[in-house]
């Protein structure tokens, strides 16, 4: 993956986009795609679409659709406490313990942005002693300590903060000299970068098929890709391949250095024939494709099926360690993912 795409990935990771608050990130992606000379379109739900037409000399028999989501885990203000601190409600599913100590930004309705830190109500070891170890972290005992002189709920409201305001987590995005990218929200901004890389590759070497790319904005809450095939870009699509992170952990075949084909998740198996076509493309391209199953996972591809879209779907993506926490992947996995989908696009039928 070239330096320009990696730079874009780091900028995207640092752009807040919790589910429901994705405009800044979508605008960043939109500018990158338009700078390549392509037209883009927004859906009424806020998703971003663009299409790469088949090579002029070809007679395309297929129209492929790829999706990736730019919405991330995050939170909203649930309550303002009497001392001016904030209680949170989750956006997406994560263990509350994984955000303890994290820096956050509260995005007020009037455009104000206030920083803070997630702490628990018994944070000081010197005050609470062993009771601190017994505390199970939850919505009832984690709170945001605001970085302003606020000592009451009235003080906090005076800053322009209210119930329902979005809260984004500091991604702490880093590219290490060894090629590791560690950051929150690699799920699924890593795959957005892969689609941008695919777009660059197909502009340099047009494919014999039509290719549409779709950046969704509500995947973390389960309905990102549900309405999409009512749009012109996707109404004619023959199949959907969702790019999303591959979960790495003990008992899994996925790896931070490889691309993975997920053949089954909590929604059931994905399309077997499409999966086999992706396996064949990997063999032709010399890509070491891992195959895995995720029992606690769903994707835009499964959301499209639940919405009733009649087309085969598949799920692939780069291996990401510590999913829904402080995540990590490697440029090897990003490169392998882009190489696989480019190889798949280059097959006429």
Could you give the residue numbers annotated as active site? 219
Q: Report cis status (omega within 30 of 0) of the bond before 188.
A: yes
State the Cα torsion 164-214-240-346 to the nearest 10°: -150
Beta bridge partner(s), residue 183 = 327
Mention every residue, 6+ apart, whose C-beta is less than 8 A from residue 244. Answer: 68, 69, 187, 188, 191, 219, 299, 300, 315, 317
In whole angstroms, what is the distance from residue 60 CA to residue 208 CA?
6
Distances (CA, A) of 282 to 15, 319, 341: 32, 16, 9
Whole-Å CA distances, 179 to 262, 318, 321, 332: 24, 14, 14, 8
């Amino acid at each position: 993956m070239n330096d320009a795409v990696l730079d874009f990935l780091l900028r995207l990771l640092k752009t807040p986009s919790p589910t429901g608050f994705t405009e800044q990130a979508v605008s960043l992606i939109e500018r990158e795609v338009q700078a390549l000379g392509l037209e883009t379109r927004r859906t009424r739900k806020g998703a971003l679409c663009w299409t790469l037409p088949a090579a002029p000399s070809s007679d395309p028999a297929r129209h492929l659709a790829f999706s990736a989501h730019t919405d991330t885990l995050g939170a909203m203000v649930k309550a303002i406490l009497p001392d001016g601190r904030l209680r949170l409600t989750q956006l997406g599913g994560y263990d509350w313990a994984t955000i303890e100590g994290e820096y956050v930004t509260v995005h007020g309705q009037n455009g104000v942005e206030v920083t803070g830190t997630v702490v628990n109500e018994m944070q000081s070891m010197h005050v609470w002693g062993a009771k601190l170890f017994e505390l199970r972290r939850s919505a009832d005992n984690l709170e945001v300590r605001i970085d302003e002189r606020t000592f009451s709920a009235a003080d906090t409201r005076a800053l322009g903060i209210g119930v329902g305001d979005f809260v984004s987590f500091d991604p702490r995005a880093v590219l290490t000299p060894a090629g590791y990218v560690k950051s929150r929200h690699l799920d699924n901004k890593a795959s957005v970068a892969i689609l941008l890389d695919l777009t660059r590759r197909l502009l340099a070497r047009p494919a014999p098929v039509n290719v549409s790319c779709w950046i969704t904005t509500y995947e973390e809450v389960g309905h990102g890709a549900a309405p999409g095939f009512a749009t012109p870009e996707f109404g004619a699509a023959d199949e959907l391949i969702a790019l999303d992170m591959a979960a790495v952990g003990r008992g899994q075949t996925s790896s931070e250095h490889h691309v993975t084909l997920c053949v089954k998740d909590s929604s059931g198996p994905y399309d077997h024939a499409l999966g086999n076509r992706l396996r064949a493309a990997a063999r032709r391209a010399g890509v070491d494709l891992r195959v895995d199953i995720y029992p606690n996972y769903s994707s835009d591809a499964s959301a499209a099926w639940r919405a009733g879209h009649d087309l085969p779907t598949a799920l692939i993506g780069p291996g990401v360690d510590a999913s829904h926490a402080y995540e990590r992947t490697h440029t090897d996995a990003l490169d392998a993912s882009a190489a696989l989908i480019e190889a798949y696009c280059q097959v006429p039928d």
